[in-house]
Structures are given as structure tokens and as C-alpha cells.
Amino acid sequence: MSIIGTIFVGLIVGLLARALKPGDDKMGWIMTIFLGIAGSLLASYAGVAMGWYQEGQAAGWIASIVGAVILLFIYGLVRKKA
């Protein structure tokens, strides 16, 4: 059940990040899910590094969305160069 929950949360976070970031990000459902999951992992890692979270503690919704938006900006920069 935790894998399905992770996928669902990743989808919600990815959709919110894509809605908040301006521009046309052409990606399908699976990439949106991966974006949300990666955004959550990025936010958790950065939070632990900055001392906001304890080791093993998950990031919150807002931090996960911010992490996903950061990844979208990086994705846009890499896609423009290619």
C-alpha cells in the first residue's frame, strides 16, 4: 500500500508543480509522477542538510512542491540546451 501511496502523492505534487510553473512542460503522467517523487526526495535531502528535518523524516507538501518546481526549472534549462 505504501508504493501506491507514494505514486499518488507523487502525482499530486507533480501536477501542482506543473500548474505553478509557467510555460509548456510536455511530459506524460509517468514523468509527472516521477517529477513529484523526485521533488519530494530533493526537498527531504535539502531539509536534512539544512537542519530543518531529522534523518528519515519526510518533507512536507509545500517543500515537496518547491522541490518539484526546482526540478522543472532544471529540466527546462537542460531541454533548451539539447
1 within 8 A of 26, measured Cβ to Cβ: no
Backbone angles phi and psi of 48, in degrees to 5: -70, -40
pLDDT in tens, 16-67: 998 898 877 778 888 888 898 998 888 888 888 888 888 877 778 888 899 9
Its domain, for residue 75, covers 2-81
Give the Cα separation of 61 and 54 in Å (integer). Answer: 16
Query: Contact 72/35 with Cβ under 8 angstroms?
Result: yes
82, pLDDT greater than 70 = no
Cα separation, 47 vs 25, in Å, equals 26
**pLDDT tens digit string along 58-79?**
778 888 899 999 999 998 888 8
Is the pTM value of this prediction over 0.75? yes
- CA–CA dist 27, 58 (Å, integer): 26
